[in-house]
């Protein structure tokens, strides 16, 4: 059985680097720091859990915009004729955060970064479930990281004044194949492809979430679906059925405590 043992959601404004990670993250950008601290928060109390071997733990990271701010910083150096910083350039690669996490947490399973505009967290979750169900991994970290950028927010405001600035942050789960009754039982997750609709470049919301066929929530930014679902889980419902409708896809998810 695949269980979600630990969850975490953080906003950049409340991010604090733990003392034990200060050395590894001294040169990291916000995108990397969000990813590593999110992983730390789901692993710190569960480094060795019963029958879950650490050596078969992997990582699936989803993102809509990746290291956008760092990419712009690299381009600024190139355009202005400055010497490009090797560290800054290496951090501009989308998979940099996954590499940091694999190194910091000694992950020996597969590590993969997935990009998707509408539902990156659930794309990563789907791959994590498949890897565990297929016997490739015993456990994995599934997360979505978004640092966005000031330029993105400025463009959004000009194109659609009603759009609120997107909040950078991370959503992170620890999944495992275990018979131990802890956390949330992940009964179902399915991502269904839809027909892409013509939408604004900066829509007022990125979809709609429906919980247990009654509660409805709008998703104002790409990180919102994972963040909202995680907060619903933490609120302690005995069961949670979630439908997410996005412009080009839909997700169905069922959880039991």
35-55 pLDDT, tens digit each: 999 999 999 876 544 545 566
Highest mean pLDDT among 8-12, 71-75, 104-108, 218-222: 8-12
209 lies in some domain:
no
171 lies in some domain:
yes
pTM value is 0.90
> Which token pair is 231?
């907060």
Distance CA 80, CA 167 (A): 29
Each residue's pLDDT tens digit, 108-160: 899 999 998 889 999 999 999 999 999 999 999 999 999 998 888 888 778 77
Distance CA 203, CA 134 (A): 37
Q: pLDDT-derived band of residue 201, with 50, 70 and 90 as boundaries?
A: low
Whether 161 has a pLDDT exceeding 90, the answer reads: no
Whether 198 has a pLDDT exceeding 90, the answer reads: no
Q: How many domains are contained in the chain?
A: 1
Residue 135: which domain range?
2-183
Mean pLDDT along residues 1-11: 93
Whether 80 has a pLDDT exceeding 90, the answer reads: no
18: how many CB neighbours lie within 10 A of its CB?
Answer: 12
195 lies in some domain:
no
Distance CA 101, CA 68 (A): 19
224 lies in some domain:
no
> Which token pair is 191?
């991502």
193 lies in some domain:
no
Burial of 106 (0-12, 13-18, 19+ CB in 10 A): exposed
99 lies in some domain:
yes
Burial 176-215 (b: 16+ CB within 10 A, else e): bbbeeeebbebeebebeeeeeeeeeebbeebbebebeeee
199 lies in some domain:
no
Do the Cβ atoms of 89 and 116 come closer than 8 Å? no
252 lies in some domain:
no
CATH number of the domain to which 118 belongs: 3.40.47.10
């Amino acid at each position: 059985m695949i269980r979600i043992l630990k969850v975490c959601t953080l906003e950049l404004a409340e991010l604090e680097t733990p003392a034990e990670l200060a050395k590894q993250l001294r040169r990291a950008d916000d995108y990397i720091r969000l990813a590593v601290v999110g992983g730390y928060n789901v692993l710190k109390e569960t480094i060795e859990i019963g029958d879950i071997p650490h050596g078969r733990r992997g990582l699936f990271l989803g993102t809509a915009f990746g290291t956008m701010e760092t990419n712009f910083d690299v381009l600024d150096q190139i355009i202005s004729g400055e010497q490009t910083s090797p560290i800054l350039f290496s951090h501009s690669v989308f998979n940099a955060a996954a590499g940091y996490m694999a190194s910091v947490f000694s992950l020996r399973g597969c590590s993969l970064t997935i990009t998707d505009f509408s539902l990156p967290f659930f794309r990563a979750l789907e791959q994590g479930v498949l890897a565990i169900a297929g016997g490739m991994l015993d456990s994995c970290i599934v997360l979505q990281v978004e640092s966005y950028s000031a330029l993105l927010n400025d463009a959004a405001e000009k194109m659609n004044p009603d759009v609120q600035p997107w909040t950078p942050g991370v959503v992170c789960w620890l999944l495992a194949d275990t018979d131990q009754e802890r956390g949330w039982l992940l009964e179902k997750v399915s991502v269904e492809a839809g027909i892409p609709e013509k939408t604004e470049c900066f829509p007022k919301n990125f979809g709609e979430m429906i919980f247990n066929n009654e509660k409805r929530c709008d998703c104002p930014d790409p990180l919102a679906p994972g963040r909202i679902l995680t907060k619903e889980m933490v609120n302690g419902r005995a069961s949670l059925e979630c439908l997410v409708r996005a412009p080009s896809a839909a997700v169905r998810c069922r959880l039991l405590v």
